[in-house]
Amino acid sequence: MFFDEITLSQKSWHFRLQARMFGEPPFLDNFCPYFWLTIFCLFATPFFALGLGANWAFLRLMDLLKLFDRALTYVETKICDPWVDWNIQRLNDKEVWYCYDRAQTYNEYGESRCKKKTVKAAKMFARWKAVMADKWEARLKEIEQRVAKQAEEDEKGRKKREYEHWHYKQKQEKLLMKKRAERRRFFSKVVDWTKWIVIPIAILAVTFCALAFLFLVGFGIFKLCHLIY
């Protein structure tokens, strides 16, 4: 019960409306402001309802985002992480050794001075250590031995390929020298054969030129004598 002149029930719609908007009607000792506040509440009801709806939608959206985050967390922890760990365990010796080498560079120079692929390889090596747990040092030592052995075999193979390449070049050079010698012998024979043809032709040409010269000189002398006498 409230007001001196008027008795209203707390179950009335205007009381509940103000209680809904303000928690408790602020004017319980004067009817005039209570009346005008009720009018204000009536005009503000659509906006208040809109705010309530937006608040409800926002809360539902936050719940949905939380549910989505939990789903992503579940997928990451139950599916992605085990799959990544499984793939990391399957890294071959060469890949593990490369990540280890990059990790040494990363530890020496820091992330800011390393390339992205170096940082990625260093993080992968750290993940590999975590997956291998206490076995990573022994496994790394085994890999180091195998890598050293493989490097030694690769070096032997490289030297063998270099020797084979050198031997092949030597063989090709010998074949080339042999072909050149054969060409020289062929041209020498050609020269020997052609000199018996060229020399007579040259002698005939010289003889013809000499005879022509003598003929012209003799003919000139004959003409000169004819003119004198």
Q: Which of 12, 18, 73 is nearest to 44 (CA)?
A: 18
96 assigned to some structural domain: yes
pTM: 0.41
Digit-coded pLDDT (tens) for 12-39: 776 767 676 766 666 666 667 777 777 7
- Domain presence at residue 172: yes
Q: Is there a domain that residue 196 lies in?
A: no
127 and 111 housed in the same domain: yes
Q: Which has the closest alpha carbon to 5: 38, 39, 29?
A: 29
Q: Which of 47, 72, 90 delimits the end of a domain?
A: 90
Q: Could you tell me if 170 and 115 lie in one domain?
A: yes
Question: Based on the domain organization, do 151 and 164 belong to the same domain?
Answer: yes
Confirm whether 111 is domain-assigned: yes
**What pLDDT is recorded for position 9?**
62
Residue 66 lies in a domain: yes
How does pLDDT run across 48-98, given as a tens digit for each residue? 777 777 888 888 889 899 998 888 888 888 888 788 778 877 778 888 888
Asked if 99 and 118 sit in the same domain, the reply is yes
Nearest-CA neighbor of 131 among 84, 165, 167, 97?
84
If asked whether residues 64 and 34 sit together in one domain, one would say yes
% helix, strand, coil for the chain, step of 5: 90, 0, 10
Check whether residue 127 and residue 162 sit in a common domain: yes
Q: Are residue 49 and residue 96 in the same domain, yes or no?
A: no
| In a shared domain, residues 26 and 109 | no
Rounded Cα gap, residues 61 and 2, in angstroms: 42
Q: Which residue has the higher pLDDT, 82 or 225?
A: 82
Q: What angle do CA 135, 141, 142 make, to 5 degrees?
A: 90
Rounded to an integer, the average pLDDT of 193-200 is: 76
Domain boundary among the residues 34, 62, 90 is at: 90
* Residue 110 domain flag: yes
Element (H, E) at 208: helix 136-228
> What's the structural domain count of the chain?
2
Q: Are residues 182 and 107 in the same domain?
A: yes
Domain that holds residue 66: 1-90
Q: Are residues 107 and 160 in the same domain?
A: yes
100 contacts 140 by C-beta, under 8 angstroms: yes
